[in-house]
Amino acid sequence: DGGITQSPKYLFRKEGQNVTLSCEQNLNHDAMYWYRQDPGQGLRLIYYSQIVNDFQKGDIAEGYSVSREKKESFPLTVTSAQKNPTAFYLCASSIGGGNEQFFGPGTRLTVL
Amino acid sequence: GESVGLHLPTLSVQEGDNSIINCAYSNSASDYFIWYKQESGKGPQFIIDIRSNMDKRQGQRVTVLLNKTVKHLSLQIAATQPGDSAVYFCAEPGNTGKLIFGQGTTLQVKP
């Protein structure tokens, strides 16, 4: 089955620790995205990548980092510099920018 | 700036009634619009899309209407069911090629 996966579904970390969220897609999509969603809120773009080995900051990139070494993978690291990291994180992919995005199931990160 | 907005944060309807969810957009050059459905604790799922050369598109129990004159988009759900309870987002491509999402409308279906 083609799709986009995120792991883990729930993640708990202590304050001050870096944590990496996984995102994998086998849709052969060039573009991948990371969003943050807070309770009752919309989607805010953290980082996006339109092609392998290239990525751009979104609207709320501070305290986050990404890499795009492989087409199918776009991991997100939430660093200790992120002031309020507890949120629901969504990864998405698309054929190209501006097209329909396919979303993963999300990772709920809780920082204790 | 670019923005996509929904008129109401919450819509409550009786099971079996029709639902109408609205969205206003600001970029008159937008040529493509998407509706997503997000159930609690899950990622958004594509429902239906529409190109700017159309003013109506129908899917299974859903219809999207586009009024380019007033830059308004709506999603109509016929015979609303409990499984339709979710948050609905509209989205359009921004100038930089990314999708811009609205804030979302929560649809509550009363039994």
Q: For residue range A7-21, what is the model confidence (pLDDT) as tens digits? A: 999 999 999 999 999
Give me the pLDDT at residue A31, please. 95
User: Strand A64-66 relative to strand A102-103: parallel, antiparallel, unpaired?
Assistant: unpaired
Higher pLDDT, A93 or B102: A93
CA distance B94 to B100: 6
Distance CA B3, CA A37 (A): 17
User: Bigger pLDDT: B28 or B14?
Assistant: B14
What is the amino acid identity at position A77?
Answer: T
Residues of B in contact with A32 (CB under 8 A): none
* Mean pLDDT computed over every residue of chain B: 90
Interface test with B, best of A6, A103, A109 (most B CBs within 10 A): A103
| Beta strands B19-25; B72-77: pairing state | antiparallel
- pLDDT higher than threshold 90 for residue B102: no
Residue in B36, B42, B93 closest to A98 by CB: B93
Work out the average pLDDT over A54-83: 96
Mean pLDDT of B29-49: 94
- Over pLDDT 90: what percentage of chain A? 86
Separation CA B80–CA B7 (nearest Å): 19
Rounded Cα distance, A97 and A50, in Å: 7
Q: Which amino acid is at B31?
A: D
**Average pLDDT for B41-47:** 95
Q: Closest CB to A98: pick one of B46, B98, B102.
A: B98
d(CA B77, CA B94): 26
Q: What is the 3-state secondary structure (H, E, C) of chain A?
A: CCCEEEECCEEEECCCCCEEEEEEECCCCCEEEEEEECCCCCEEEEEEEEECCEEEECCCCCCEEECCCECCECCEEECCCCCCCCEEEEEEEECCCCCCCEECCCEEEEEC
Dist CA B31 CA A89 (whole Å): 28
Q: HSE on the CB side for B87, CA within 13 Å?
A: 20
Minimal-distance CA residue of chain A relative to B90? A42
Per-residue confidence band for B6, with pLDDT thresholds at 50, 70 and 90: low
A41 pLDDT band (50/70/90 cuts)?
Answer: confident
Residue-averaged pLDDT of chain A: 94
pLDDT at B1: 43
